[in-house]
C-alpha cells in the first residue's frame, strides 16, 4: 500500500540518478502505441508551454537589448553577459548570496539536527514537539517575514529592544548587516522545522538492533553519535543539504521581498531577487534574462556537482 | 476444459539471452503437470508465456484447439495463481474473485453463484467481505485459488503458489490443491523449485534445466529412471550419489569393487546410486564413515569411498562403525555417460532381465 | 536505562519556545488595537480588540477598487491551494502511469523532458514566464494563477516512485482478469494510491496556498488577490502612515497561516509520511 520503507531516501534518490533513464520501470508493461501519449499529453503540454517556452525565451532575450517602452529589441550578442561580469553590484550580490546560502543552510541543518537528536532521545514525549515544529513549517515565507519584520521593528520590535539592552542599536531595514542578520534569522527559523522532521524520521529508522550494538560497543554518547548515528544519517543529511541550498537560493524570495520592500538601496538581496528587480522594476529585460540564464546554469551545475561529489562520501546503509 | 500443446516453444530476450529453447510438450485434458527445476531454469518464463504475460519468440502454444500466441492473457481462457497471491488490496475477497468475471460481462447472478460456490469449496464463506490484509497467509492463498476457480478456465497456471507459506501450511495446502484439481478436473500447469512438492502433486513432471526439457515422466518414472545426471541429482533427497566408475568385462567397477552387471560398452561411466538402494553388508564396497544425519525414522550416513563421497540409508537400530562395507540392491545401478551426463540405457543393449 | 533526561527536554523546550514565540506573539498581538501595539509593543496575552479587528480585515472593503476583502482573498487562496493540489495529482498520476506502465518509443526522452523541470525553479525564469502569460492573455485569471505552477515534476516523481513499488503481479493478475490500461488505472491503481494521493494533496495544498511570487506578478486585478498578495498590498501602504495598522497586518498574517497549519497538524501523520517516504 505505502512506499516501501526498506530503501532509504537517498538510496532511492541515488537509484534515480544513477539509472535515470527509468524505462523499463516495470518488468511487465503495456505495449500500446497511443494510450501512453493520451496519459502524457496534459503534463507535456504544460511543461512545454510553461517551462520550455519561457526557458527558451530567457535564453533568446538575454541576447537582446529591449527598448524600455516596448518598441522592439536590438540584437546585442553577449553584451548583457559582459555587462554582468563587469558589474560590481552584481558581483557583490553574488557574494552575498553565497554567504547567505551557506549560513542559512549550516544553521538550519545544525539546529534541525540538534532538536531532532534531542527529540529522538525523549521519543515518548516527542509528539508535542513534533506538532509544534511542524506548524511552523506550514507558515509561508512572506508570512514568516511579516512576523519577523514586527519582531525587528524599529519602534515596537522585541528583538530591537533586546539588542538595546546591550547597548546595540539594531536598525533592520536601514543598516545593511542588521538587515542581513534579520533575513538570516527569519530564513533559518522557517527552515529548521523541515530539517527537524526529516532528521527525526531518519533517526527513528535506525534499527533498534544497531542502537543496542552501539550501546554495547561505545561508552560515550558522543562517540556513539559520531561513529554510528551520524554515518547512518548521512543519506538524509545529503538530501537535506540540496533542499536547503535550494531553499536559501529561491524560496527565501518572499522573506526578502517583505523585509526589503522594493527598496533595494543599501539593502542585502540575493541573485533571484535581483532578477526580479531588474526585470519588473528596472525594465531591463535583456539584463534580467541574462541573469536568469546565469542562475539556470548555476542551479543545473550545482545539482549535478552535488550528486557527483557528495554521493561518494555518503554511506548508504 | 481442454488439453494444451507446446511445440518448439522458445524465448529469446532482447539482449540475446536464451531463457527457454525448443520446449515441446503435449498436455492431456485434466492432467496435472509440474514444471520443476532450479532457479533460472526457465520454468517461470515458460509458464508466463503460456499465460500471455511474456511474449513467445519461437514456436506455438495451443490451448484447446486455439493457437494463443497472439492473444491477450484475458482471451486465453486461463487463470493464474501467483506466488505473492497478487490480490487487489483495496477490494474485498468477494470483489477480488468477481473482478475478472465482471470484466467479461458475466451476469450478476452468475457471478454471485460462482463466488458462493468457490467460497464454499475453499471454506472462505465467513471472509467474503474482508479485505486481503485482514486474512492470514493461508487464507490469502485460498482467495487466490478462488479467483482462479470462479473463472472456470480451460487451464490453471500456478507460479510457485506455496513458497510464501510456512512449512506446515505448505504441506496441507499441497494436499488441498491436489484434491481440488482432481475434483474440478481442470488441466493444470504448476511451477515449483521444490522437488518434493513436484513429486507429490504431479501426474507428470517436466524437469527443466537451462531452458531445456531434461525429462518428462510420472514422478516414479523420473525418480527411478532419471534421464540424466542433472535429473538424478535434482529429484530425490538425499540426492543420488554420482560417482566415477569403470565398466570392464561387462561388470561395473567402483574403486575396483564389482557392483554388478553392466551391459554397456566398456570404459569410464558415471554411476548413480540412491542412498536407499545401499545397505551395510559383511563384504562389499569399503567406506570410511564421515558423519551421520539423524532423521528419526532412518539415518543417512555420509561416507567416503576412496575419496568419493557416498551417502546411504541406515536403519537407526543397526550398528555403526568407522569402517563399513556396502552392497547395492540388485538392478539398482544407474549408468550415465561421463561426458553428456545422459542415461545409458542398459536394456537397449543387453537383453538382460532386471529384477 | 530509560530515565527522564532533563537536559534533553530543556534544549527541546527552549528550541520549540524560540520557534513558536513569534507565532504566539503574532496571534496575541492581533487581538490588540494598533495604538496599544504602537505604545506597548507586542503582546503575549490576548487583548479585547480581536473580534473587531478580524471582522474588519475579513469584511471591510479595501484596496483601490474598494471591493477586495479578507474573505475574498481567503477564497482565492483556497482556490489556488485546492486547484493546484488537485491539478498536480491528476496530471502527475497520469504522466507517471504512462512512464511506469508502458513501453513506448521516446519513453526515455519524455522522461528526461519531464524530470528536467526539477532542475530549474520558477523563480529563475520568472520574467519570460510572465511574458508568456501575457501573450496568452492569462494574466488575472485563475488558469494563469494555477496552471503554470503545475509545470514541475515533483508530483510525477512522487507517483513514479510509488507506482514502481506496486508489485508487478497486480498488473499481471489484472491483465488475466481482462483489464486494459484504462481499466487497470481506474479500477486498481487509483484506489491503491489513495493514501499517497492524500499525502500529496496536503503537501501540495500547503505549497499552493503559500505561493507568493507568482500571485504578486500574475494578479493586478484585486478580484484575484490571494492572502499572500494581500500581505504585499498591506505593506505597500505601510510606509508613510503615522501609526501603521499593526493589528490588521497581524490578523492578516494569522489568517494566512491558520489553514495550512491546521491541515498539516490534523493530517500530521500522513503529511510526514508523504514528505519523508517519497523523496522530493
State whether A289 and C127 contact (CB < 8 Å): yes
Mutation for testing the A interface, residue in C39, C96, C128, C216 having most A CBs under 10 Å: C128
List Cα–Cα distances, C237 to A43, C64, C232, C249, C257, in angstroms. 40, 11, 9, 11, 21
| Highest averaged pLDDT of the listed ranges A70-84, A226-240, B55-69 | B55-69
State how far the Cα of C92 lies from the Cα of B73, in Å rounded to an integer. Answer: 29
Helices C268-277 and C194-209 sit at what angle, rounded to 10 degrees?
Answer: 90
* More confident position, C165 or B6: B6
pLDDT in tens, B123-132: 999 999 999 9
Chain A residues closer than 8 Å to B89 by CB: 1
Chain B residues closer than 8 Å to A28 by CB: 53
- What residues does each domain of chain B span? 4-230, 240-349
- Given this model, what pLDDT does residue A5 score? 35
- Given this model, what pLDDT does residue A164 score? 87
pLDDT at A23 over 50: no
ipTM above 0.90, yes or no: no
**Is residue C10 in some structural domain?**
no
Q: Residue range B301-316: average pLDDT?
A: 92
Q: Residue range B306-317: average pLDDT?
A: 90
Q: For B4-230, CATH number? A: 3.40.50.300
Domain B240-349: CATH superfamily, name plus number: Nucleic acid-binding proteins (2.40.50.140)
Query: Over pLDDT 90: what percentage of chain B?
Result: 72
Is there a contact between C141 and C115 (Cβ–Cβ < 8 Å)? Answer: no
Residue B76 phi, psi dihedral angles, 5° rounding: -90, 0
Is the alpha carbon torsion for C195, C199, C205, C211 positive or negative? negative
Helices C6-29 and A126-137 sit at what angle, rounded to 10 degrees?
Answer: 40
pLDDT averaged over every residue in chain A: 81
Do the strands B204-209 and B32-36 form a parallel or antiparallel pair, or are they unpaired? parallel
| pLDDT band with cut points at 50, 70 and 90 for residue A21 | very low
Is there a contact between C16 and A129 (Cβ–Cβ < 8 Å)? Answer: yes
pLDDT at A20 over 50: no
Short-list B47, B52, B117, B123, CA closest to B83: B47
* More confident position, A274 or C273: A274
Q: Closest approach of chain C CAs to the CA of B58, in angstroms?
A: 21
Residue B247 phi, psi dihedral angles, 5° rounding: -110, 125
Q: Residue range A82-101: average pLDDT?
A: 91
State whether C26 and A189 contact (CB < 8 Å): no
Residue B218 phi, psi dihedral angles, 5° rounding: -65, 160
- Given this model, what pLDDT does residue C244 score? 76
Query: Over pLDDT 70: what percentage of chain B?
Result: 97
Chain A residues closer than 8 Å to B53 by CB: 28
Chain A residues closer than 8 Å to C256 by CB: 140, 143
**Is residue C15 in some structural domain?**
no
State how far the Cα of B103 lies from the Cα of B74, in Å rounded to an integer. Answer: 10
State how far the Cα of C231 lies from the Cα of C77, in Å rounded to an integer. Answer: 12
Residue B134 DSSP one-character state: G
Domains and CATH numbers, chain A: 87-313 (1.10.3720.10)
A285 touches C at CB < 8 Å:
yes
A244 touches C at CB < 8 Å:
no
Which residue of chain A comes nearest to C105, CA vs CA? A33
State how far the Cα of C149 lies from the Cα of C134, in Å rounded to an integer. Answer: 15
List Cα–Cα distances, A104 to A99, A193, A246, B219, in angstroms. 9, 13, 11, 72
Task: Kindly report which listed range (A218-232, A241-255, B275-289) carries the lowest average pLDDT score.
Answer: A218-232
Q: How many alpha carbons fall within 13 Å on the CB side of residue B132?
A: 21
DSSP assignments along B204-267, one per residue: EEEEEETTEEEEEE-HHHHHHS-SBHHHHHHSSSSPPEEEEEEEETTEEEETTEEEEE--S-SE
A90 touches C at CB < 8 Å:
no
State how far the Cα of C56 lies from the Cα of C71, in Å rounded to an integer. Answer: 10
Q: Tell me if residue C25 falls in helix, strand or coil.
A: helix
**Is residue C71 in some structural domain?**
yes
Three-state SS for C241-253 is: CCCCCHHHHHHHH
Chain B residues closer than 8 Å to A1 by CB: 89, 133
Q: Which helix (H) or strand (E) holds C199?
A: helix C194-209
pLDDT at A25 over 80: no
- Given this model, what pLDDT does residue C208 score? 93
**Is residue C230 in some structural domain?**
yes
**Residue B165 grid coordinates:** 507459506
- Given this model, what pLDDT does residue B307 score? 87
pLDDT at A68 over 70: no
Mutation for testing the C interface, residue in B88, B154, B157, B164 having most C CBs under 10 Å: B88
Do the strands B299-305 and B334-336 form a parallel or antiparallel pair, or are they unpaired? unpaired
No. of helices (H) and no. of strands (E), chain B? 9, 19
Is there a contact between A200 and A166 (Cβ–Cβ < 8 Å)? Answer: no
**Is residue C31 in some structural domain?**
no
Task: Kindly report which listed range (A238-247, B215-224, B345-354) carries the lowest average pLDDT score.
Answer: B345-354
**Is residue C241 in some structural domain?**
yes
- Given this model, what pLDDT does residue C82 score? 96
Which residue of chain B comes nearest to C168, CA vs CA? B86
Which residues pair with residue B153 across a beta bridge?
none
Among all chains, which residue has been given the C-alpha cell 569403470? B246
| pLDDT band with cut points at 50, 70 and 90 for residue B31 | very high
Q: Residue range A152-163: average pLDDT?
A: 86
Short-list A98, A77, A64, CA closest to A288: A64
A25 touches B at CB < 8 Å:
no
Q: Closest approach of chain B CAs to the CA of C260, in angstroms?
A: 30
**Residue C251 grid coordinates:** 490578523
Is there a contact between B257 and B281 (Cβ–Cβ < 8 Å)? Answer: no
CB atoms within 10 A of CB C55: 12
**Is residue C96 in some structural domain?**
yes
Short-list A276, A110, A256, CA closest to A180: A256
Q: Closest approach of chain C CAs to the CA of B49, in angstroms?
A: 12
- Given this model, what pLDDT does residue A230 score? 84
pLDDT at A192 over 90: yes
Is there a contact between A182 and A157 (Cβ–Cβ < 8 Å)? Answer: no
Number of domains in chain C: 1
| pLDDT band with cut points at 50, 70 and 90 for residue B353 | very low
Structural domain range at position C116? 66-277
A226 touches C at CB < 8 Å:
no
- pLDDT tens, residue order, chain C (280 aa): 455 677 878 888 888 888 888 999 889 988 888 888 888 888 888 888 888 888 888 887 766 666 778 888 999 999 999 999 999 999 999 999 999 999 888 888 888 888 888 777 888 888 888 888 988 999 999 999 999 999 888 888 889 888 988 899 999 999 999 998 999 999 999 999 998 898 889 989 999 999 998 998 888 888 888 998 888 888 777 655 667 788 888 898 999 999 999 998 888 888 787 777 644 3
Output the domain CATH number for residue C97: 1.10.3720.10
Which residue blocks in chain A are alpha helix, DSSP H? 9-18, 35-47, 53-61, 79-86, 88-121, 126-137, 141-151, 158-165, 176-204, 208-217, 221-224, 230-246, 253-260, 271-276, 285-305, 311-313
pLDDT in tens, B69-119: 999 898 999 999 999 999 999 999 999 999 999 999 999 999 999 999 999
| pLDDT band with cut points at 50, 70 and 90 for residue A22 | very low
pLDDT in tens, B158-206: 999 998 889 889 999 999 999 999 999 999 999 999 999 999 999 999 9
CB atoms within 10 A of CB B353: 6
C190 touches B at CB < 8 Å:
no
Which residue of chain C comes nearest to B98, CA vs CA? C177
* More confident position, A133 or B346: A133
pLDDT at B282 over 70: yes
- Given this model, what pLDDT does residue B351 score? 42
A27 touches B at CB < 8 Å:
no
pLDDT in tens, B253-263: 988 888 888 87
Amino acid at each position: 500500500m505505502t512506499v516501501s520503507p526498506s530503501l532509504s531516501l537517498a538510496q532511492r534518490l541515488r537509484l534515480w540518478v544513477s539509472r535515470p533513464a527509468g524505462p523499463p520501470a516495470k518488468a511487465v508493461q503495456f505495449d500500446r502505441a497511443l494510450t501512453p501519449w493520451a496519459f502524457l499529453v496534459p503534463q507535456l503540454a504544460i511543461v512545454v508551454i510553461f517551462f520550455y517556452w519561457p526557458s527558451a525565451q530567457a535564453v533568446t532575450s538575454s541576447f537582446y537589448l529591449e527598448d524600455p517602452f516596448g518598441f522592439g529589441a536590438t540584437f546585442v550578442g553577449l553584451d548583457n553577459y559582459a555587462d554582468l561580469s563587469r558589474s560590481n553590484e552584481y558581483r557583490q550580490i553574488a557574494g552575498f548570496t553565497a554567504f547567505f546560502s551557506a549560513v542559512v543552510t549550516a544553521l538550519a541543518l545544525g539546529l534541525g539536527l540538534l532538536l531532532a537528536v534531542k527529540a529522538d532521545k525523549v521519543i515518548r514525549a516527542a509528539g508535542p514537539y513534533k506538532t509544534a515544529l511542524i506548524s511552523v513549517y506550514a507558515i509561508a515565507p512572506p508570512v514568516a517575514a511579516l512576523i519577523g519584520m514586527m519582531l525587528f521593528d524599529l519602534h515596537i520590535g522585541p528583538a530591537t529592544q533586546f539588542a538595546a539592552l546591550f547597548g546595540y542599536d539594531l536598525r533592520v531595514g536601514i543598516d545593511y548587516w542588521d538587515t542581513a542578520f534579520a533575513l538570516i534569522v527569519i530564513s533559518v527559523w522557517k527552515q529548521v522545522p523541515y530539517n527537524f522532521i526529516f532528521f527525526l524520521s531518519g533517526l527513528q529508522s535506525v534499527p533498534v538492533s544497531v542502537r543496542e550494538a552501539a550501546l554495547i560497543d561505545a561508552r560515550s554518547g558522543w562517540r556513539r553519535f559520531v561513529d554510528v548515528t551520524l554515518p547512518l544519517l548521512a543519506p538524509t543529511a545529503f538530501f537535506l543539504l540540496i533542499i536547503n541550498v535550494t531553499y536559501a537560493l529561491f524560496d527565501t524570495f518572499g522573506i526578502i521581498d517583505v523585509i526589503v520592500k522594493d527598496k533595494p538601496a543599501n539593502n542585502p538581496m540575493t541573485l533571484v531577487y535581483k532578477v526580479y528587480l531588474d526585470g519588473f522594476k528596472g525594465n531591463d529585460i535583456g539584463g534580467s534574462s541574462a541573469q536568469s540564464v546565469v542562475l539556470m546554469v548555476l542551479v543545473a551545475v550545482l545539482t549535478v556537482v552535488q550528486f557527483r561529489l557528495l554521493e561518494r562520501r555518503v554511506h548508504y546503509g | 476444459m481442454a488439453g494444451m500443446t507446446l511445440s518448439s516453444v522458445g524465448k529469446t530476450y532482447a539482449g540475446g539471452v536464451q531463457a527457454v529453447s525448443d520446449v515441446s510438450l503435449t498436455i492431456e485434458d485434466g492432467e496435472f503437470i509440474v514444471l520443476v527445476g532450479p532457479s533460472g531454469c526457465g520454468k517461470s518464463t515458460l509458464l508466463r508465456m503460456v499465460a500471455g504475460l511474456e511474449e513467445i519468440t519461437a514456436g506455438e502454444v495451443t490451448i484447446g484447439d486455439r493457437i494463443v500466441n497472439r492473444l491477450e492473457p484475458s482471451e486465453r481462457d486461463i487463470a493464474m495463481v501467483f506466488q505473492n497471491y497478487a490480490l487487489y488490496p483495496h477490494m474485498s475477497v468477494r470483489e477480488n474473485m468477481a473482478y475478472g468475471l465482471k470484466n467479461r460481462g458475466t451476469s450478476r447472478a452468475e457471478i454471485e453463484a460462482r463466488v458462493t460456490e468457490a467460497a464454499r469449496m475453499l471454506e472462505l464463506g465467513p471472509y467474503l467481505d474482508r479485505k486481503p490484509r485482514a486474512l492470514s497467509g493461508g487464507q490469502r492463498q485460498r482467495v487466490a485459488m478462488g479467483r482462479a476457480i470462479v473463472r472456470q478456465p480451460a487451464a490453471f497456471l500456478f507460479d510457485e503458489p506455496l513458497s510464501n507459506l510456512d512449512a506446515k501450511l505448505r504441506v496441507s495446502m499441497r494436499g488441498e490443491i491436489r484434491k481440488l484439481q482432481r475434483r474440478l478436473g481442470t488441466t493444470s500447469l504448476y511451477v515449483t523449485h521444490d522437488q518434493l512438492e513436484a513429486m507429490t502433486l504431479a501426474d507428470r513432471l517436466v524437469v527443466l534445466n537451462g531452458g531445456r526439457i531434461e525429462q518428462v515422466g510420472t514422478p516414479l518414472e523420473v525418480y527411478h529412471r532419471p534421464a540424466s545426471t542433472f535429473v538424478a541429482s535434482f529429484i530425490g533427497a538425499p540426492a543420488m550419489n554420482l560417482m566415477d566408475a569403470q565398466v570392464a568385462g561387462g561388470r561395473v567397477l567402483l574403486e575396483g569393487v564389482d557392483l554388478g552387471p553392466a551391459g554397456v560398452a566398456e570404459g569410464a561411466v558415471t554411476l548413480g546410486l540412491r542412498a536407499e538402494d545401499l545397505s551395510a553388508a559383511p563384504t562389499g564396497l569399503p567406506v570410511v564413515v564421515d558423519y551421520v544425519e539423524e532423521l528419526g525414522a532412518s539415518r543417512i550416513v555420509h561416507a567416503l569411498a576412496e575419496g568419493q563421497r557416498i551417502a546411504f540409508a541406515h536403519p537407526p537400530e543397526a550398528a555403526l562403525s568407522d569402517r563399513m562395507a556396502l552392497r547395492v540392491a540388485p538392478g539398482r545401478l544407474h549408468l550415465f555417460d561421463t561426458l553428456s551426463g545422459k542415461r545409458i540405457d542398459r536394456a537397449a543393449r543387453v537383453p538382460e532381465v532386471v529384477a | 536505562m530509560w530515565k527522564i533526561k532533563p537536559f534533553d527536554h530543556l534544549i527541546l523546550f527552549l528550541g520549540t519556545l524560540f520557534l513558536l514565540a513569534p507565532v504566539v506573539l503574532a496571534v496575541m498581538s492581533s487581538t490588540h488595537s494598533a495604538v496599544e501595539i504602537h505604545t506597548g509593543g507586542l503582546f503575549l496575552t490576548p487583548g479585547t480588540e480581536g473580534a473587531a479587528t478580524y471582522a474588519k480585515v475579513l469584511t471591510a472593503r479595501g484596496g483601490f477598487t474598494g471591493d477586495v476583502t479578507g474573505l475574498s482573498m481567503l477564497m482565492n487562496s483556497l482556490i489556488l491551494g485546492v486547484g493546484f493540489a488537485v491539478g498536480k495529482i491528476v496530471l502527475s498520476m497520469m504522466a507517471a502511469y504512462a512512464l511506469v506502465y508502458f513501453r513506448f518509443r521516446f519513453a526515455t526522452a519524455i522522461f528526461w523532458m519531464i524530470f528536467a523541470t526539477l532542475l530549474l525553479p520558477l523563480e529563475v525564469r520568472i520574467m519570460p514566464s510572465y511574458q508568456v502569460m501575457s501573450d496568452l492573455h492569462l494574466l488575472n485569471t485563475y488558469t494563469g494563477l494555477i496552471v503554470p505552477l503545475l509545470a514541475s515534476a515533483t508530483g510525477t516523481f512522487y507517483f513514479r516512485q510509488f507506482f514502481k513499488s506496486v508489485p508487478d503481479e497486480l498488473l499481471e493478475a489484472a491483465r488475466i482478469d481482462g483489464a486494459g490500461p484504462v481499466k487497470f488505472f481506474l479500477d486498481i491503481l487509483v484506489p491503491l494510491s489513495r493514501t499517497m494521493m492524500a499525502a500529496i494533496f496536503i503537501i501540495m495544498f500547503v505549497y499552493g496556498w503559500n505561493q507568493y511570487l507568482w500571485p504578486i506578478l500574475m494578479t493586478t486585478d484585486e478580484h484575484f488577490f490571494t492572502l499572500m498578495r494581500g500581505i504585499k498590498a498591506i505593506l505597500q501602504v505601510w510606509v508613510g502612515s503615522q501609526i501603521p495598522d499593526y493589528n490588521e497586518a497581524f490578523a492578516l498574517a494569522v489568517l494566512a497561516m491558520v489553514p495550512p497549519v491546521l491541515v498539516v497538524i490534523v493530517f500530521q501523520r500522513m503529511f510526514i509520511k508523504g514528505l519523508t517516504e517519497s523523496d522530493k
